[in-house]
């Protein structure tokens, strides 16, 4: 946990050597099949792509060890916000090479034509070497042929299950950014998502990847269910407090606000500029699908069923989540005890930060574009209660950034690889 510094966007930088990541392990996969033709055509036109540089992995003592072949990455659903954010972040990752991208409606198009901010870069660089978008079926075939090591799945809920079931999980590691493998109970999944689960046999293999709280399980996983954005912002502060018995599992309220990117890139009336700007609104009241995901994590922490009151709101900003949580303190516990517990749990974490007593509450712009989560604890004016505030970037720590963090753990890379960017401010 970094010490508080008044300049908000710079407060979360760690000194050199401070938990930059655990010692590197061998990459996800060493054998290499012939490269897919999908990786040979750069977005800018014809010609062969430049060979990605071979990264140097650093040993725990700081000495260079090996120069493994970069891990080959495919992204299913790369034409959405989370897919584009994966590419933005992976552009600075030293151990990955993008070999395949899917986008059904944009198949055959260069990535830069779908997201213009991914159209620029030096010849032979990351952006110019991106493969053109293709179909999901073709990317699956490439994975089945042994030409992919890691698959990020950014497909819509309820479609991911059948796709992942086709992937050779004995050879490929998968991080799924949809909700399809987050809920352990398939009946709960069916009740909230409106259809039976289509890959029940894989459900038991999936590891819920809230990285800071599930690192050991993620390390050995072949399939990681990346947490939702709201559940990430709620569970990071609440789980350690419930597991320590410092707060009551009853009457927990999670009041959350999200930027419009949380609704995805598809055109919807409610996210048009004139509909979303200059105001805010609650949605999914008492019926949002992230509620059972939050309750699953909190129940595990408490050792007994936990029900929460969860209400999300749409606010007129592109990215960011601010979750305010209202809790009852256990007998004899103070807000200072909550803060001390969170500080102890996250003290060595590079991405999660607990503000000291008296600091101004965190703002979404303090984490914009970064994988950081910043939280504060305040004693309520009502005796026996406390208020928690947590901010994240919904498409970084709430989606693509946490997915890369999970990949880093799965592959034995330092966790900050690809995720070391300072938040964008103002």
What is the secondary structure of 30-46 as a DSSP string?
---PPPPGGGTS-TTSS
Count of all residues that appear for the chain in the document: 426
Contacts 24+ apart (CB under 8 A), 331-336: 333/246, 333/247, 334/379, 335/377, 335/378, 335/379, 335/380, 335/386, 336/379
What is the secondary structure of 304-338 as a DSSP string?
S---EEEEEEE-SSSS-EEEEEEEEBPTT--HHHH
Cα–Cα dist 414/403, whole Å: 14
As a 3-state breakdown, the chain gives helix, strand, coil percent values, each rounded to 5, of: 30, 15, 50
What is the secondary structure of 203-220 as a DSSP string?
HTT-EE--HHHHHHHHHT
Among the residues of 66-110, which ranges form H helices?
A: 81-90
Burial status of residue 121 (CB atoms within 10 A of its CB: 0-12, 13-18, 19 or more): middle
Among 250, 209, 211, smallest CA distance to 226 is for 209
Task: Tell me whether residue 390 is one of the annotated catalytic residues.
Answer: no
Catalytic, out of 28, 229, 390, 411: 229
Among 261, 266, 254, smallest CA distance to 276 is for 261
Contact call for residues 320 and 314 (beta carbons, < 8 A): no
| Phi, psi values for residue 224, rounded to 5° | -115, 130
| Phi, psi values for residue 82, rounded to 5° | -70, -35
Query: Catalytic residues, which ones?
Result: 229
């Amino acid at each position: 946990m970094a010490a508080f510094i008044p300049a908000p966007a710079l407060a979360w930088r760690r000194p050199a050597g401070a938990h930059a990541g655990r010692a590197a392990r061998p990459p996800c996969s060493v054998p290499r099949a012939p490269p897919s033709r999908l990786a040979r055509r750069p977005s800018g036109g014809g010609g062969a792509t430049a060979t990605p540089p071979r990264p140097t992995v650093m040993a725990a003592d700081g000495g260079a060890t090996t120069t493994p072949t970069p891990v080959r990455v495919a992204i299913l659903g790369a034409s959405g916000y989370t897919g584009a954010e994966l590419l933005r972040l992976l552009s600075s990752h030293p151990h990955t090479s993008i070999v395949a991208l899917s986008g059904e409606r944009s198949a055959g198009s260069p990535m830069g034509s779908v997201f213009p901010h991914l159209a620029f870069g030096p010849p032979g660089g990351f952006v110019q070497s991106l493969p053109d978008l293709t179909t999901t079926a073709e990317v699956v075939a490439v994975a089945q042929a042994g030409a992919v090591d890691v698959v990020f799945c950014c497909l819509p809920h309820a479609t991911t299950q059948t796709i992942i079931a086709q992937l050779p999980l004995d050879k490929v590691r998968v991080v799924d950014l949809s909700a399809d493998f987050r809920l352990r109970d398939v009946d709960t999944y069916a009740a909230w998502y409106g259809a039976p689960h289509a890959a029940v046999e894989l459900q038991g293999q999936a590891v819920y990847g809230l990285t800071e709280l599930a690192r050991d399980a993620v390390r050995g996983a072949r399939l990681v269910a990346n947490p939702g954005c709201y559940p990430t912002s709620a569970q990071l502060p609440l789980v350690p407090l419930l597991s320590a018995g410092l707060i009551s599992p009853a009457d927990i309220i999670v009041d959350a606000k999200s930027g419009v990117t949380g609704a995805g890139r598809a055109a919807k009336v409610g996210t048009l500029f004139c509909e979303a700007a200059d105001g805010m609104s609650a949605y999914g009241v008492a019926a949002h699908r992230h509620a059972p995901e939050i309750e699953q994590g909190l129940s595990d922490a408490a050792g007994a069923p936990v029900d929460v009151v969860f209400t999300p709101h749409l606010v007129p900003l592109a990215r960011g989540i601010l979750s305010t949580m209202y809790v009852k303190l256990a007998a004899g516990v103070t807000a200072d005890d909550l803060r001390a517990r969170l500080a102890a749990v996250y003290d060595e974490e590079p991405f999660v930060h607990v503000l000291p007593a008296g600091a101004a509450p965190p703002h979404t712009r303090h984490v914009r574009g970064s994988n950081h989560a910043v939280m504060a604890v305040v004693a309520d004016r009502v005796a026996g209660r406390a208020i928690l505030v947590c901010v994240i970037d919904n498409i970084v720590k709430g989606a693509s950034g946490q997915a890369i963090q999970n990949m880093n753990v799965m592959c034995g890379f330092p966790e900050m690889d690809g995720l070391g960017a300072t938040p964008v401010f103002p």
